[in-house]
């Protein structure tokens, strides 16, 4: 079993450059037996620092210092534990669209997107965002893409090799998906959960998620509740005629145990849909085998129908050529 104090200490080191609040909270937890006892009463998978901290903030912990956090956690221990048990991490990162777009624009449209593990479906609005690509690592050379009706409230900035940057946005006619526990962007409680999963201090990310929530509210996606493998056929059956069905998986397959994941892979292959994936380099065996030689274990890969297109960062803000 994982040592919780060491887990939180390691998390504090990892987040130091991104969230001062979480660094302080995690360091305080690691050094405090009363907080560790509350967290250790949870199953191991539910002790993860981002989940415990997001739940505490959802319940009103605020973003104060570690003393405030300790007082809140001790006063609300049972509520925090109950919410941690009930909720999975469902971080929804629209920034990933900057890495999905080069793959989606290679498919003839209009597209019907079916995202597996969609959370609230914020990555389904790939055609509603603006993009600002810095080409070949040169901040001076940029390509901007806007939706047909003008600049979006969400602009996704990314660096990319010029050969990968599309010339136009994808045409999306329909957006749907599946999640074990779909979030509804129009629901205040679900929207609060989506924003609680953004770490304190990540202001640009918070603004992006909020603006994407507004876009999703205005035109909600068709999300089905259930396991992706059980509901894939239902989702495909809902796709309107005259569109190209495209399954999208982004940062989700790693959460599905290997044998089940491979059953899902088979179901996607047999569905006749195209498939755009943005997953860790080791998550899909066919994709991994098609990568150039080398240790890519820390990288993510964008692939179309299991053929790698580019390496990318986990949130899609950096794209790199394969070789
Ligand atoms: C980390 S979130 C990623 C959300 C979104 N794809 C993104 O990139 O922003 C993973 C989501 O997958 C969902 N999920 C995990 N396993 C699943 C399964 N077997 N079937 C359907 N959804 C699943 C979780 O509920 C969660 O909302």
69 and 126 share one domain: no
Q: What's the CATH number where 151 sits? A: 3.40.50
Ligand 1 contact, 123 CB (< 6 A): yes
One-letter-per-residue 3-state SS of the chain: CCCHHHHHHHHHHHHCCCCHHHHHHHHHHHCCHHHHHHHHCCCHHHCCHHHHHHHHHHCCCCCCCHHHHHHHHHHCHHHHHHHHHHCCCCCCCHHHHHHHHHHHCCCCCCEEEEEECCCCCHHHCCCCCEEEEEECCCCCCEEEECCCCCCCCCEEEEEECHHHCCCCCCCEEEEEEEECCCCCCCCHHHHHHHHHCCCCCCHHHHHHHHHHHHHHHHCCCEEEECCHHHHHHHHHHCCCCCCEEEEEEECCHHHCCHHHHHHHHHHHHHHCCEEEEEEECCCCHHHHHCCCCCCCCCCEEEEECCEEEEEECCCCCEEECCC
The reply to whether 284 and 260 lie within a common domain is yes
Index of the ligand 1 atom closest to the CA of residue 248: 6
pLDDT of residue 225: 98
Contact 117, 252 (CB under 8 A): yes
- Residue among 169, 155, 164, 242 at smallest CA distance from 205: 155
Same structural domain, 68 and 115 = no
Q: Which of 57, 86, 115 is the last residue of a domain?
A: 86
Give which of 130, 173, 134, 179 is closest to 155, Cα–Cα: 130
Question: Which residue range forms the structural domain that includes residue 155?
Answer: 94-320
Cβ 42 vs Cβ 50: under 8 Å: no
CA of 110 to the centre of ligand 1 (A): 25
Would the CB of 50 count as within 6 Å of ligand 1? no
Which of 45, 180, 182 has most ligand 1 atoms within 8 Å of CB, for mutation? 180
Span 2-37, pLDDT tens digits: 899 999 999 999 999 999 999 999 999 999 999 999
pLDDT value for 90: 95
Same domain for 181 and 142, yes or no, is yes
Distance 203 CA to ligand 1 centre (A): 23
Atom of ligand 1 nearest to the CA of 119: 27
Q: Is the minimum distance from the CB of 91 to ligand 1 under 6 angstroms?
A: yes
Mean pLDDT of 268-292: 97
pLDDT at 138: 80
How close is the Cα of 24 to the center of ligand 1, in Å? 28
**Domain limit, last residue, from 42, 70, 86:** 86
pLDDT of residue 1: 72
pLDDT tens-digit series, residues 48-105: 999 999 999 999 999 999 999 999 999 999 999 999 999 999 999 999 999 999 999 9
Separation of 99 CA from ligand 1 center, angstroms?
A: 18
Structure tokens at 255: 């959460």
Span from the CA of 71 to the centroid of ligand 1 (angstroms): 32
Residue 75 is predicted with a pLDDT of 98
Instruction: Give pLDDT, residue 59.
Output: 98
Domain boundary among 86, 120, 149: 86
In percent, the amount of the chain with pLDDT more than 90 equals 97
- Total tally of structural domains belonging to the chain: 2
What pLDDT is recorded for position 137? 77
**Residues 79 and 98 both lie in one domain:** no
């Amino acid at each position: 079993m994982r040592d919780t104090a060491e887990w939180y200490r390691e998390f504090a080191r990892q987040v130091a450059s991104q969230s001062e609040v979480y660094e302080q909270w995690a360091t305080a937890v690691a050094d405090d037996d009363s907080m560790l006892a509350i967290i250790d009463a949870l199953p191991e998978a539910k002790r993860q620092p981002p989940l415990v901290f997001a739940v505490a903030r959802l319940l009103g912990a605020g973003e104060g210092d570690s003393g405030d956090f300790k007082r809140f956690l001790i006063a609300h221990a049972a509520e925090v534990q109950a919410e941690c048990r009930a909720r999975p991490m469902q971080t929804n990162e629209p920034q990933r669209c900057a890495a999905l777009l080069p793959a989606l624009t290679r498919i003839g449209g209009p597209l019907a997107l079916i995202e597996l593990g969609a959370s609230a479906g914020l990555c389904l609005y790939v055609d509603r965002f603006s993009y600002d690509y810095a080409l070949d690592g040169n901040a001076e050379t940029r390509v901007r893409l806007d939706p047909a009706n003008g600049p979006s409230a969400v602009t996704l900035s990314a660096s990319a090799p010029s050969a990968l940057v599309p010339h136009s946005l994808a045409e999306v006619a329909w957006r749907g998906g599946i999640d074990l526990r779909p979030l509804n962007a129009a629901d205040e409680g679900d929207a609060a959960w989506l924003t609680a999963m953004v770490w304190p201090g990540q202001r640009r990310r918070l603004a992006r998620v909020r603006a994407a929530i507004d876009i999703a509210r205005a035109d909600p996606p068709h999300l089905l509740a259930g396991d992706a493998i059980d509901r894939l056929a239902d989702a495909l059956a809902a796709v309107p005629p005259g569109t190209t069905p495209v399954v999208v998986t982004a940062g989700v397959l790693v959460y599905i145990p290997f044998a089940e994941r491979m059953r899902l892979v088979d179901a996607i292959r047999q569905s006749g849909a195209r498939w755009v994936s943005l997953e860790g380099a080791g998550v899909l065996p066919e994709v991994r085998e098609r990568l150039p030689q080398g240790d890519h274990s820390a990288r993510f890969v964008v692939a179309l129908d299991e053929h790698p297109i580019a390496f990318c960062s986990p949130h899609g803000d950096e794209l790199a050529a394969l070789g």
